[in-house]
Structure 1
Amino acid sequence: MKKNNYNRFWRWHFYASLFIMPLLITLTLSGIGYLFYTNVENKIYDHLFFGKSEKAEHLTIDEGIQHATDKFPDYSLSKVIILDDPYNKRLTLTNNDGDQKYVFLDSNNELVGSQNANYTFSNVMRNIHSSLFVGGTVVNYLVELAACWAIFLMISGIYMTFKGKILKKKKEESKRQKNRKWHALLGTIITIPMIVIIFTGLPWSAFMGNFIYSASQNHPSIGTPILQQQPPTSDMSEIPWATRKNETPTSEHSHAHHGDMGNMPGMLDHEHMLNVEQLMSKVEKEHISKPYSIVYPTSQEGVYTVSKGSNTGVTGLDVSPYDEMTSYFDQYSGKLISKVSYDDYGILAKWFTWGIPLHEGHLFGWPNKLINLTVCLAFLFVIFWGVKTWLSRQRKKTFSPPPKTSHNVSIGFIILMVLLGIVMPLFGISLIVVAIIEVILYLIRRQKTS
């Protein structure tokens, strides 16, 4: 039974590796790229981030915004990002199709230039890493499933390493044994940090991410505080993870309710709402320091959302988890309606507020990046030596899979798989699918032999 258990782990480890290896390599390489997106963008977008317009006239920020919207008439302002010096201000303009442009204003609020949001370095790396740049629910689930199975690969690899005494010194070792030892040694060393990296990335995933967020929202004592307010309609990508789906308050003003206009998304009462310069003055009075983002209201009942996040994905915008906050300002009076800060989070929200920057490599500066880079490179070498081990085992013109196992399954193996399925629900669903396929194949073989 013990040998059968070892072989079962070996076969599952082998076939799982074979099917998800291309995905794991893609995710690891794109993850490495995303680790250094701020460093890359500071260089390649230097003229946009820090450059000056040829025009020297000083404009108000609202005049600068007006020039930007005049230049791109099919787009409307959805977000303003105010960064610390020497960074320029960044506007996000969105059209009716959901396409976005980033427009940069210098210290005089003159236009410096613009970007197509889809093709910035950070967005390309993030889209490849999270959805293979294809997008869609199926692809998102596939990426998450690969991450879940990577956890199984680590655990099964540890089991085989110690059960098979792979690291034990031998007098004479074949080429295959040497490759297997390197594969096992590196895999053992990086198992814990790799599992930490994977699990701290799962809050952004499609299936488990929503599950975690629902738990956080449904249990405020361990998650995020509940705000009894109108659901948000703004684009929330710069709002901290812990408050991203919180319900936002509504502005209290008679102009927000006249006629049918107040219920029409995108129809703003520009005559009565605060402009950005006035709002920035209100923000300063509330002692909210740079950097922060301003998300525009999308209806006459909406609010200005001003936030500071530790995982924004915007160069120059990230802050310490302790400094995270999301505040809501009445779009007409500028009154601060409510504010949620890090101290208001429950333990689950706090955990992931630290975990996501750790995953992205900027929680504690360069050491964080270098540790993540080392783990990712080691993981690529683990894959490389795994392939070498298989190739050195292959007999000529044969697939050379691990030996077959009997139909007897140990209780330990079942318990492990059930526990992993509970912790990672999508992995659990995939196990059910694998079990169904196994049963079908078994019945087909049995029918052929009868």
Structure 2
Amino acid sequence: MEKNNYNRFWRWHFYAALFMTPLLITLTLSGIGYLFYTNVENNMYKNEFFNKSTQIEQLTIDQGIEKAQQTFKDYSVSKIIALEDPYNTRLTMTNKDGDQKYVFLDSNYQIVGSQNPKYTFSNVMREVHSSLFVGGTLVNYLVELAACWAIFLLLSGIYMTFKGRALKKEPNPTKRQKNLKWHALLGTIITFPMVIIIFTGLPWSAFMGDFIYSAAQKHPSIGIPALKQNPPTSDMSEIPWATRKNEPPASSEGSHAEHNGMAQMDNMSKPSGMITVQQLMNEAEKANISKPYSIIYPKGEKGVYTVSKGSNTGVTGLDVSPYDEVTTYFDQYSGKLISKVGYQDYGILAKWFTWGIPLHEGHLFGWLNKVINLIVCLSFLLVMFWGFKTWLTRKKKNSVSAPPNLSSKLSIGFIIFMVILGCIMPLFGISLILVVLIEMIFSFKNKFQNVNIAK
């Protein structure tokens, strides 16, 4: 039974690697690229981030916004990223078709330059890493599935390493044994940190991410503060993970509420009673909210300004310490602080991921975090390389040379292990049903062939 159990792990390990390796290589390389996106962007976009306009007249931020909207007539500002010196202020401008443009204002609030968000380095790396730059639910699920099966590859590799002879000294090791030894040794060393890196990235995933967030919503004591929820929108991408799906409160109803409102506030025709951005920034300062932070414009006549600081924004110069995370809502007419949700208000689950996501992204504790993540990712690529070489040394011509499947019976230990993984990673659990069905078909086919041979 033990030999059959080993072969079962070996067989599933082999097929998982065969099908998932191309995806895992893509995810690992894009992850390495994303680790250093701030360093890359600080050099690639020096003009937009740090340079000054040739126009030296001092404007207010509201005048700068108005000038940007006059320059890009089909766009209106929906978001402002107010950064610390020496970074310039970044505006997110959106047109009626949903297309976006980043516009940068210097310290005089004069226009320095603009970008197409879709093709910035950080967004390209993020899109490749999360959705292979293709997008769509199916692709997002496929990426998540690859991450889940990577967990299985690492854990099953640990089992086979200690149950097999991979690390035992051989007097005259063959080429295959040498490759297998390096594959097993390095895989064993990186399993724990790699599992942490993968799990801290799953809150962003399509299936498990929603599952985790729903759990945090339903159980405020361990998750996020109990607020009415609604689906996220693209304008919430710089809001902290723990409050991203929170429904903002409404501004005060009254005479101002009768002004023209839209699904998304077009600030070029904003209500006359709406406070200016400078007034909002003054109110944020009174509330002890210092730069860097993002400002999200109100949605409709009853919407509020959202001002937030996050530890996982994906914007160069905007990330803060998890302890400093805060999401605040200000009345768009009076500027009054309506409500505030900070790190101290999170439940244990939300706090865990508030730390875990920047750990995954490589900026939780500076350069050391980046270096550790880089070493683990490069080691993971080497593990895949030596695994591939091990397979090639035993692969027969015109054959996949899959490990043998001695019996169709599954041991209790194997079943318990897979059920636990399936419960922890629901999408992985669903995929297991398909794998079991395929195994049953192959087993039935082999039995049928053996019966025919016996006849």
Aligned pairs (5 A) from 1:93-112: 93-112=93-112
More deviation in 436-445 or 299-308? 436-445
Give the 3 Å change call, closer, same or farther, for CA 113–73 of structure 1 in structure 2.
same
Over the residues paired in the alignment, what is the CA RMSD in angstroms? 1.6
Q: What is the deviation of 1:59?
A: 0.6
How do 1:21-420 and structure 2 match up within 5 A?
21-228=21-228, 235-255=235-255, 257-258=257-258, 261-262=260-261, 264-266=263-265, 269-420=270-421
The aligned counterpart of 2:435 is 434
Q: Secondary structure at the match of 2:258?
A: coil
CA gap 1:183/1:231 in 2 versus in 1, 3 angstroms: closer
Q: Note the C-alpha offset of 1:368.
A: 0.2
The one-character-per-residue Cα deviations of 1:102-144 (angstroms, maximum 9, x if unpaired) are 0000000000000000000000000000000000000000000
Structure 1: runs of 5+ lacking an equivalent: none
Q: State which drifts further: 124-133 or 247-256.
A: 247-256
Contact 2:408 2:440 (8 Å CA) reproduced = no
CA distance in 2, matches of 1:204, 1:399: 35
CA contact (8 A) 1:50 1:86 kept: yes
Corresponding residue number in structure 1 for 2:16: 16
Q: Distance in 2 between matches of 1:155 and 1:313?
A: 30
Name whichever of 230-239 and 61-70 sits farther off: 230-239
Aligned pair in 2 of structure 1 residues 445, 388: CA closer, same or farther (>3 Å)? closer
Q: Is the 8 A contact 1:232 1:248 kept in 2?
A: no
Contact 2:408 / 2:443 at 8 angstroms: preserved in 1?
A: no
Residue pair 2:30, 2:125 contacting (<8 A) in 1 also: yes
Indicate how the Cα distance of structure 1 residues 171 and 12 shifts in structure 2: closer, same or farther if over 3 A, else same: same
Change over 3 Å in CA distance of 1:60–1:206 after alignment to 2: same
User: Structure 1 length as normaliser, TM-score?
Assistant: 0.97
Which secondary structure state, in structure 2, belongs to the residue aligned with residue 52 of structure 1? coil
Q: Deviation string for 1:29-87 (max 9, x for gaps)? A: 00000000000000010010000001101111111101111111111111001000000
1:235 aligns to what SS in structure 2?
Answer: helix
Q: Could you tell me which amino acid in structure 1 is paired with residue 305 of structure 2?
A: Y
| Distance of 2:221 and 2:314 partners within structure 1 | 28
TM-score, structure 2 normalization = 0.96
**2:248 alignment partner AA:** T
What SS does structure 2 have at the residue aligned with 1:227? coil
Deviation at 1:230, TM superposition (A): 8.0
What letter corresponds to residue 130 of structure 1 in structure 2?
Answer: S
Q: Give the whole-Å Cα distance in 2 for the aligned partners of 1:229 and 1:398.
A: 53
Relative to 1, partners in 2 of residues 1:234 and 1:191: Cα closer, same or farther, differing over 3 Å? closer
Q: What secondary structure does 2:55 align onto?
A: coil
Identify if the C-alpha distance between structure 1 residues 263 and 93 changes in structure 2 by more than 3 Å, giving closer, same or farther.
Answer: closer
Could you tell me how far 1:254 is from its partner in structure 2? 1.8
Letter in 2 for 1:304: Y
Deviations 1:345-369 (A, max 9, x none): 0000000000000000000000000
Task: Give the distance between the partners of 2:230 and 2:8, measured in 1 at CA.
Answer: 52
CA 1:175 to 1:231, structure 2 compared with 1: closer, same or farther past 3 Å? closer
Q: Whole-Å Cα distance in 1 between the matches of residues 140 and 415 of structure 2?
A: 27
- After superposition, the Cα gap between the structure-2 partners of 1:228 and 1:411, relative to the gap in structure 1 and judged at 3 Å, is closer
8 A Cα contact 1:48 1:113, kept in partner = yes
- Partner letter of residue 173 of structure 1? P
User: What percentage of aligned pairs have identical amino acids?
Assistant: 71
* 1:231/1:332 CA distance change after superposition, 3 Å: farther
Q: CA deviation at 1:447?
A: 5.3
Task: Provide closer, same or farther for how the CA distance between residues 390 and 202 of structure 1 changes in structure 2, counting only shifts above 3 A.
Answer: same
Once residues 23 and 290 of structure 1 are traced to their aligned partners in structure 2, the CA distance between those partners, rounded to angstroms, is: 38
Contact 2:295 2:308 in 1 (8 A): yes
Contact 1:4 1:405 (8 Å CA) reproduced: yes
Provide closer, same or farther for how the CA distance between residues 111 and 262 of structure 1 changes in structure 2, counting only shifts above 3 A: closer
The alpha carbon displacement at 1:405 in A equals 2.4
Paired with 1:253 and 1:114, the residues of 2 have a C-alpha distance of 37
AA aligned opposite 2:377: C
In structure 1, how many angstroms separate the alpha carbons of the residues matched to 2:377 and 2:448?
A: 46
Distance in 1 separating the partners of 2:276 and 2:265: 16
Distance, in Å, in 2 between the alignment partners of 1:406 and 1:310 is 50
SS where residue 305 of structure 1 aligns? strand
Provide the C-alpha distance between the structure 2 equivalents of 1:443 and 1:361, rounded to a whole number of angstroms.
48
- What one-letter code is carried by the residue in structure 2 that aligns with 1:185? L
Structure 2: segments with no counterpart, 5+ residues: none
Is the CA contact (8 Å cut-off) linking 1:81 and 1:292 kept in structure 2?
yes
